[in-house]
Structure 1
Amino acid sequence: MDTLVSGYSKSASITASAPFLFYSNSSSVRCKGAKKVLERPLADPLFTQHLDELFTAEKALGVENPIVVGAIPFDLEQPTHLIVPEWFTFQSVPSFDMSLFNDRSFKHKVRAHQFFPEHDAFIHGVNQAHTLFGDTELKKVVLSRLLELELDQPVDLSRLMGNVMAQNPNAYHFNLPIREGVLIGASPELLIRKTADKVYSNPLAGSAKRQCHEEADVAAADGLWNSTKDQYEHRLVVDSIRSSIARYVGSKVIPDTPSLINTPTMWHLSTQIEGRLRDSNTSIFELIRSIHPTPAMGGTPSKLAKQVIDDVEPHDRCFFSGLVGWADSQGNGEWAIAIRCAEVKGAFVRLFAGAGIVPQSDPEMEWIETGNKMQTMLNAFGIERSAL
């Protein structure tokens, strides 16, 4: 077991041997090895001090602008997993045809599976939330479920990553070694990107399943766009981010209405937010502390929604619906929300999906929506939905 020294751990074997990959349409980072791992909650007042110590030590070794890469959990009171890599490189955005990586022969059979919570417990949780909408100030809460799988063979992570990229070419792709295996996925959602004095965020809230036939798919998109429930849910997220960044940003651009974007499996309401910082020295971690989790992952008001999640969900989210990305010693970085992803350890896999619950939510439809969101990763594993 790894030992902790002042919030740092010696690199675990999985962390030291597996590469870190993060690909987006703006930055691509590849790393290997781990000199140190910072395992201290972002909410800890000493977090910044310990991060600065790591950067200072790296600069003393001749690294001009050192970085950390890794994951931040959903709950900022839980430890981060931030790696100081032995080697890293920034690359230009991949320009190759990612569809070439699509491996149709990559298939897995499911030996055993279990949902947490199961169907009836999830429905009960949504109904519990409904009672709180009338009795408290709760406006929205995101309730999630896990799917644990035992597959017929250990997962070839390189082939899985190829499928993840090929089947979801416009996402934020990541492969992160963690203590329990590897966190791998294709997130459609950017929490925050900072470059000098410019910041960007791209919240998603409000979803509909893609359809096989074009006419039905257009109808699904139109239904999402015209949904009062989904537009309300999305506005809660945008308003929260606007409020969270107000004290940092001098000027900003936030569209009055969202746009429609799609992944291979889902339609989403999306808003592109841009801003210019009053102080370019503001660290991306300070912005994360202010913004995360947004109502897209937690709910609103945030403290009340977090309490509901703790009371209702039978599982610890850990890094699911947290963040994956990188940051440098100048305060820049890019962090995507850890959704449409899986934890993989040998032949054992955990998938995650959540749904935003608002007063207009139908419990059964929310169960179906979370299942639809898991389809992205099920497709990458070559697992038929009918096997579950």
Structure 2
Amino acid sequence: MDTLVSGFFDSASVTTSMPFLFYSKSSSVRCRGAKSVLECPLTDPTFSRKLDDLFNREKAQGVDNPIVVGAIPFDLAQPCHLMVPQWFTFQSAPPFDMSQFNDTGFKHRVRAHQFVPNHDVFIQCVEQALTRFDDTDLKKVVLSRLLELELDKDVDLTRLMGNVMAQNPNAYHFNIPVKGGVMIGASPELLIRKKDERVYSNPLAGSAKRQDDQALDGAAADALWQSKKDQYEHRLVVDSIRSAISGYVSDLRIPEEPSLVNTPTMWHLSTQIEGCVKESATNTFDLIKAIHPTPAMGGTPTQHAKQAIDEIEPHDRHFFSGLVGWADSKGNGEWAIAIRCAEVNGAFVRLFAGAGVVPDSNPENEWIETGNKMRTMLNAFGIKRDAL
């Protein structure tokens, strides 16, 4: 893939000096340092054994309940990046209103930028996907695009993380050292959380841009709720998770209809799913392998959608639309979907956004939707709306 600068991200380097942060209302964890790193695909038959080896090594050193933290790629056949931290602590979510700490003086100018793919190619990609609905049993495919930026100065990661949290206080916040940089973001979507026997998931599908005017914003939310296209897209996701998780989870509680939730930039259709694992030995990685990618990130049926993405998208997503989070040796953990985020390396930034394509999708609307979704991180960088 062509980039703004050759060697945009150095895949050979790992930024281990940065702290790992994962903040949620249920299980916030802070870590520093990496004793060891597990880079093995979740689908590799040796993954569970290698993970157990790491945990057993930590227990032998006196750690009662060791953890791993990190990122899992969109394609589970690619290596994950899981670290055993040198130091970690769990803490409660801040009891104060984080929005008051919005750093309005944190601003960047864009020296150069490019979309991958560009507008015309993205439109062609969506049109190509639409033709597949007539010839196959494909019902939905998620197509994405990247925005690569060269900024006027190196990014202060501490200030950026503060701004991400302040501007999106109800999200899953994360700061994760990965190969070639740091992933920072505020995901609105929980793939899976396991706490003892209880399991939770919160898929989002169906989106609309927030409006500055209160009346127009209410109308946008109502239009999303009334949209047959978005309701159909959301139901595909919920039904897929129900089917995927039923082998592991009983007593499933799934509302008949979604609810409306919002971030500072978007409205979403949301469904809260809850259940109880059938077997106590089930861990979060078992559930991830059963569920991911959901139709919200890939499409449905899963294999047909994955094939379409591989053949249509001109870029590799790597960790974008994969997962970020943590897991412990007792099988507990929390993993959010890696969206509304950025990869940062000095003054170079890469953003990602995707949109669900279904039979009645409009290609231009999908381009606009992906642009709207990037606004979360552009705001956090202090990049003006007219900068691109």
Q: Residue in 2 aligned with 1:330?
A: 330
Please state if 1:120 is matched with 2:120: yes
Q: Which position in structure 2 is the counterpart of 1:66?
A: 66
Deviation at 1:101, TM superposition (A): 2.2
8 Å contact 2:13–2:180 — kept in the other structure? Answer: no
Matched letter for residue 360 of structure 1:
D
Structure 1: state its 5+ residue gaps: 1-11
CA contact (8 A) 2:15 2:180 kept: no
What SS does structure 1 have at the residue aligned with 2:16?
helix
CA deviation digits over 1:272-328, x for unaligned, max 9? 000011112201100000000000000001111111111111111000000000000
> Is structure 2 residue 123 aligned with structure 1 residue 134?
no
- 2:209 matches 1:195: no
Q: Which residue of 2 aligns with 1:9?
A: none
The answer as to whether partners of 2:25 and 2:92 remain within 8 angstroms in 1 is: no
Is the contact made by 1:73 and 1:319 (CA closer than 8 Å) also made in structure 2? yes
Counterpart of 1:120 in structure 2: which amino acid?
Answer: D
Partner of 2:43: 43
CA contact (8 A) 2:189 2:336 kept: yes
State the distance in 1 between where 2:154 and 2:99 align. Answer: 24
Deviations 1:83-113 (A, max 9, x none): 0000000011221221232110100000000
Matched to 1:57, the amino acid is R
Aligned to 1:78: 78
Alpha-carbon distance in 2 for matches of 1:57, 1:227: 52
- Shift, 1:211, TM fit: 0.3
- Alignment-derived partner of residue 143 in structure 2: 143
Superposed CA RMSD: 0.8
Please state whether the residue corresponding to 1:126 is helix, strand or coil.
helix
Runs of 4+ that moved beyond 6 A: none
Match of 1:249 in 2: 249
User: How many angstroms apart in 2 are the aligned matches of 1:14 and 1:306?
Assistant: 28
Provide the secondary structure at the position in 2 that maps to 1:16. coil
2:297 is matched with which residue?
Answer: 297
Deviations 1:348-368 (Å, cap 9, x if unpaired)? 000000000000100000000
Assess if the C-alpha contact under 8 Å between 1:140 and 1:357 holds in 2.
yes
Q: Which residue of structure 1 lines up, in the alignment, with residue 167 of structure 2?
A: 167
Opposite residue 364 of structure 2, the aligned amino acid is: E
Corresponding residue number in structure 1 for 2:240? 240
Distance 1:99 1:249 in 2: 37
| Equivalence for 2:377 | 377
Give the Cα separation in 1 of the matches to 2:307 and 2:280: 34
Partner of 1:96: 96
Aligned length: 377
**Mapped partners of 1:317, 1:343: distance in 2:** 11
Percent identity, please: 75
| Distance in structure 1 (CA, Å) of the matches to 2:49 and 2:228 | 45
How far apart in 1 are the matches of 2:40 and 2:263? 34
2:8 counterpart residue number: none
Query: CA 1:133 to 1:207, structure 2 compared with 1: closer, same or farther past 3 Å?
Result: same
Task: Write the deviation string for residues 310-347 of structure 1: whole angstroms up to 9, x where unpaired.
Answer: 11111110000000000000000000000000000000
Residue in 1 aligned with 2:5? Answer: none
Partner of 2:222: 222
Q: Which amino acid aligns with 2:257?
A: T
1:15–1:34 contact (8 Å) kept in structure 2 = no
Which deviations, in whole Å up to 9, do the C-alpha atoms of 1:206-260 show, x marking residues without a partner? 0000000000000000000000000000000000000001111121100000000
Give TM-score, length-normalised by structure 2: 0.96
**1:380 deviation in Å?**
0.1
TM-score, normalisation: structure 1 = 0.96
1:14: how far off? 4.3
2:98 touches 2:169 (CA, 8 Å); kept in 1? yes
Q: Secondary structure at the match of 2:182?
A: strand
* Distance in 1, Cα, partners of 2:149 & 2:298: 25
| One-letter amino acid matched to 1:282 | T
Q: Counterpart in 2 of 1:307? A: 307
Once structures 1 and 2 are overlaid, which stretch shifts more, 322-331 or 248-257? 248-257
For 1:74 and 1:90, the matched residues in 2 are separated by 26
State whether residues 15 and 33 of structure 1, in contact with CA within 8 Å, keep that contact through their aligned partners in structure 2: no
The separation in 2 between residues aligned to 1:288 and 1:143, in whole angstroms, is: 21
1:355 aligned partner: 355
* Deviation (angstroms), 1:13: 6.8
Partner-residue secondary structure (3-state), 1:17: coil
Counterpart-to-counterpart distance in 2, 1:101 and 1:70: 26
Distance 2:325 2:43 in 1: 18
Instruction: Give 1:32 shift.
Output: 0.1
Deviation at 1:385, TM superposition (A): 2.0
Tell me, in whole angstroms, the C-alpha distance in 1 between the residues paired with 2:182 and 2:30.
15
Alpha-carbon contact 2:29-2:90 (below 8 Å) kept: yes
- Partner Cα distance (2:140, 2:198) in 1: 30
Where structure 2 has 5 or more consecutive residues not aligned to the other structure, the ranges are 1-11
* Partners of 1:258 and 1:271 within 8 A in 2: yes
- Structure 1 counterpart SS, 2:251: strand
Residue 27 of structure 2 corresponds to residue 55 of structure 1: no
